[in-house]
Amino acid sequence: MRTLLLHGAGDVRLTDAPEPVPGPSEVLVRVTAVGLCGSDLHWYRDGAIGGLEMHAPFVLGHEMGGVITSGPRSGQRVAIDPADPCERCPACVSGFTNLCQSTRFCGAPGVDGALVERMAWPSRLLVPVPDAMTDDEVPLLESLGIAIHAMGLGHISAGCRVAVVGAGPIGLLILAMLRARGVGRIVVSEPLAHRRAAAHAMGADVVVAPDPDGLARVLADEATDVVFEAVGEPAAIASACAAARPGGRVVLVGIPSEDTYVLPAGDARRKGLTFPVARRMQAHHLTAAISLVEAGVVDLGSLVTASYPLAESGAAFDALVRRDGLKVVVRPNA
């Protein structure tokens, strides 16, 4: 079976691996599509993320869909929840499975991900998808789940004035959710022209490129209630804080390369800002994401701008580093 191993920063190698053997409560899944995301970018570019470092080769990929090939559900197309929480700790029992400290997370050191032809994964974490959804769209359900989670942290209500810093796939999906929720004016900040164009197409009222004054200049006469920061870089966080009104919320969705958030203390303190931090998604958000796509609220297909077979994964990661297009997808069984 072909698999793609990350050996270190910038070093992915296609190799042969033994066929996976499903454990108790697991089934075999033929992987159809894997989306590459910001955390994969950190691992590939830096060999580390958020204070974690790799110490042995492992398989990336946690945005994934496939077809079950064993057990009574054989033949069923599914979205694959990458997080396998313990379901016993206080966080899990309270419903915050995304905060479980014992989670096995697919595509992180110690738990191989989906850039393989076949994988074994718990059946309870495989959610059926509608026939109308294409294979390339299925991996983006996990990204949409994160956007749903972030929306909850933002305490969004109709008529809110909102800004989104960063128009990558997560930022664009937050934008789509905001538009569907009927909020007031939505302003998006994004340095890349093609992503600014995508934000316009998805319903942003104002789209700007970052400048030394950040969003504050554009929003000088506006009361921005909530800002979603979807980049993870200090300049983006500073821009988000400058844009927020006194008493506002800045939802930190982006993942910083280092194990540190750099906050501008002046804006944060003088404005009394609140900083909820988004971590992954909760278990029920994957089902909610499927419902939103089925209802036509969110179009995932427009975000997929490139797809590659497993043998060309190096080119896929290079495109991810360059931030070409929007979402890069790898098809392990193409």
The string of pLDDT tens digits covering residues 5-61 is 999 888 999 999 999 999 999 999 999 999 998 888 888 888 887 777 888 899 999
In a domain, 313, yes or no: yes
Which candidate, 328, 333, 253, places its Cα nearest to that of 36? Answer: 328
Q: What is the pLDDT of residue 218?
A: 64
Q: CA 28 to CA 35: how far, in whole Å?
A: 20
In a domain, 277, yes or no: no
Q: Find out whether 275 and 265 touch, Cβ atoms under 8 Å.
A: no
Q: Counting beta carbons within 10 angstroms of the beta carbon of residue 233, is it exposed (0 to 12), middle (13 to 18) or buried (19 or more)?
A: middle
Q: CA 150 to CA 162: how far, in whole Å?
A: 13
User: Looking at the predicted structure, is the pLDDT value of residue 117 above 70?
Assistant: yes
Q: CA 308 to CA 316: how far, in whole Å?
A: 6
165 and 128 co-located in one domain: no
User: Looking at the predicted structure, is the pLDDT value of residue 324 above 90?
Assistant: no
Across-strand partners of 5?
A: 13
Per DSSP bridges, beta strands 77-80 and 63-68 are: antiparallel
Q: Give pairs for 215-220: CB < 8 Å, separation 24+.
A: 215/163, 215/165, 215/187, 215/189, 215/239, 215/240, 215/242, 215/243, 216/242, 216/243, 218/187, 219/163, 219/187, 219/243
**pLDDT > 90 fraction of the chain, expressed in percent and rounded:** 57
pLDDT (mean) for 130-143:
95
- Write down which residue in 249, 270, 291 finishes a domain: 270
Q: What is the pLDDT of residue 195?
A: 94
Domain count, the chain: 2
324 and 204 co-located in one domain: no
User: Which phi and psi angles does 69 have, rounded to 5°?
Assistant: -120, 10
In a domain, 281, yes or no: no
Q: What is the pLDDT of residue 165?
A: 93
**Range of the structural domain that residue 84 is part of:** 2-137+300-331
* Domain containing residue 218: CATH number: 3.40.50.720
DSSP assignment of 75-87: T-EEEE--EE--S
170-174, 203-207, 283-287, 326-330: segment of lowest average pLDDT: 283-287
pTM above 0.75, yes or no: yes
Q: CA 231 to CA 12: how far, in whole Å?
A: 24
The 10s digit of each residue's pLDDT in 207-247 is 988 875 656 566 655 678 899 999 988 888 988 898 898 99
Most confident range (mean pLDDT) of 171-175, 254-258, 268-272, 292-296 is 171-175
224 and 259 co-located in one domain: yes
Tokens (6 digits) for 181: 């929720």
In a domain, 22, yes or no: yes
318 and 216 co-located in one domain: no
In a domain, 279, yes or no: no
163 and 266 co-located in one domain: yes
Which candidate, 132, 60, 77, places its Cα nearest to that of 301? Answer: 132
Per DSSP bridges, beta strands 126-128 and 162-165 are: unpaired
E runs forming strands in the chain: 2-8, 11-16, 26-36, 48-49, 52-53, 63-68, 77-80, 83-84, 104-105, 118-122, 126-128, 162-165, 186-189, 206-208, 226-229, 249-252, 304-309, 327-331
The 10s digit of each residue's pLDDT in 61-107 is 999 999 999 989 999 999 999 999 998 999 888 888 888 998 999 98
Across-strand partners of 118?
A: 30
User: Looking at the predicted structure, is the pLDDT value of residue 284 above 90?
Assistant: no
User: Which phi and psi angles does 317 have, rounded to 5°?
Assistant: -70, -35
Q: Is 54 left (phi over 0), alpha (psi -120 to 50) or beta?
A: beta
306 and 214 co-located in one domain: no
User: Looking at the predicted structure, is the pLDDT value of residue 175 above 90?
Assistant: yes
Tell me the residue type at 45: R
193 and 264 co-located in one domain: yes
247's CB contacts (< 8 A; 6+ apart) are: 271, 272, 273
159 and 256 co-located in one domain: yes
**pLDDT > 70 fraction of the chain, expressed in percent and rounded:** 96
